[in-house]
Amino acid sequence: MEKKDEILQGRLVYLRLMTEEDTDFIVKWRNNDRVRNNFIYQKPFTRQGHENWVRTMIETGSAVQFIICEINTDKPIGSVYFRDINEEHHRAAYGIFIGDDAATGRGIGTEAAKLAITYGFMVMKLHKIILRAFAENEGALKSYQNAGFVREALLKDEVCIQGSYRDIVLMGIINPYEK
């Protein structure tokens, strides 16, 4: 991993901090049915909603968000973020979405997760990173496991989406760099 001006580079992708110019990408990606169906919040995503996220979460330090870009083309293809950053307990929640359909199933999510996790532990000095995922989202769960997350709990009937209750898997990873 290379870190230069908040750019984190792997073999397939690099992460750069999200900017205002990324708003149209974020809105388009979050409204992609494949992406939206894997989020607990499934209502249509708007520019105003994203701008509110930037104002209330990014600008306040409650969240940090990166854009995932392909190394060979510099094409933005998705996003990773930390939210609910808790400096007292040194933990945060992790999230990711690959917005470009052609970029799925290629190991990009796993590599982006590994880059983000390293950033969370080395730069943000987190002790623990957690995530929540739908139990039936087997591809995502496998990717998270490949990135180092460990399944900690199954939350039965945790959320009700479109009239159906769905199970949530809680996963976490502890900072291996701490002494």
CATH number of the domain encompassing residue 7: 3.40.630.30
Residue 18 lies in a domain: yes
- Distance, in Å, from the CA atom of 33 to the CA atom of 110, rounded to the nearest integer, reads 21
Report if residue 67 sits inside a domain. yes
DSSP 3-state of 19: coil
Is residue 173 a part of any domain in this protein? no
Chain centroid, CA 134 distance in Å? 14
Which pTM value belongs to this model?
0.91
3 state SS of 65: strand
Residue 36 is predicted with a pLDDT of 87
For 119-149, give the DSSP string: HHHHTS--SEEEEEEETT-HHHHHHHHHHT-
120 touches 171 (CB < 8 A): no
**What average pLDDT does range 120-128 have in this prediction?**
96
Q: Is residue 150 part of a domain?
A: no
- Scan for tokens 């870009």, then name that residue: 69
- Residue 127: is its pLDDT beyond 80? yes
Residue 93: pLDDT above 90?
Answer: yes
Q: Is residue 68 part of a domain?
A: yes
What number of H helices and E strands is found in the chain? 5, 9
Q: Whose CA is closest to 107, among 10, 2, 175, 1? A: 10
Write the CA distances from 91 to 8, 123, 127, 133, integer angstroms: 20, 13, 6, 18
Residue 56 lies in a domain: yes
Q: Give the integer Cα–Cα distance in Å for 172 and 51.
A: 29
Decide if 30 is inside a domain. Answer: yes
Is 138 among the domain residues?
no
CA geometry: angle at 22 spanning 21 and 24, to 5°?
100
Residue with the larger pLDDT of the pair 172 and 1:
172
Q: For position 6, what pLDDT does the model report?
A: 59
- Please compute the mean of the pLDDT values over residues 24-47 and round it to a whole number: 89
Range(s) of the domain holding residue 110: 2-131
Predicted confidence (pLDDT) per residue in 68-82, tens digit = 999 999 999 999 999
Q: CA-CA distance, 77 to 84, in Å (whole number)?
A: 24
State percent of the chain over pLDDT 70.
96
The answer, yes or no, to whether residue 2 has pLDDT greater than 70, is no
Answer whether residue 4 shows pLDDT above 70.
no
How many separate domains does the chain show?
1
Q: How confident is the model at residue 14 (pLDDT cuts 50, 70, 90)?
A: very high
Residue 174: its pLDDT value, please? 97
